[in-house]
Amino acid sequence: MHILVLQHARAEDPGLLGDFLRTDGHRWHTVELDEGEVLPPLDGFDALWVMGGPMDVWQEEEFPWLAAEKRLIREAVVERGLPFLGLCLGHQLLAEALGGEVAPGVPEVGVMEVALTQ
């Protein structure tokens, strides 16, 4: 499996997940968006991982690559049906790419009960 990994901050790399991939013989290509790297075409990739980052999903003026990233996520998930793993910012980008809304919430710390609302 060849995985495209989108990274938003040097400290937000695949870490142990990358170690598991390597052990299982998978390979990946990391794009460091915060370093100005360009999003590649999805051809040749079997999955998309979108890592976390310090920015907010709606900060497209400050981080202009977020808009292109959302388009790529939509293409990967909707048009190509690629498996997707989103961590923190990554799943927020997925939500917006698929038409959902992401907004700041009340800070939470610890273990919480979660209720399905729809």
At 20 the pLDDT is: 85
pTM above 0.95, yes or no: no
pLDDT of residue 89: 96
Determine the 3-state secondary structure of 95 from DSSP.
helix
pLDDT tens for the chain, 118 residues: list them.
Answer: 999 999 999 888 788 888 888 889 999 999 999 999 999 999 999 999 999 999 999 999 999 999 999 999 999 999 999 999 999 999 999 999 999 999 988 887 888 888 888 7
Longest dimension (CA), the chain: 41
* Beta strand pairing call for 27-32 and 2-7: parallel
How far apart CA 58 and CA 77 sit, in angstroms, is 20
Given the structure tokens 């990967």, which residue do they identify?
Answer: 76
The domain segmentation of the chain, as residue ranges, is: 2-97
What CATH class has 2-97?
Answer: alpha beta
Helix, strand, or coil (residue 44): coil
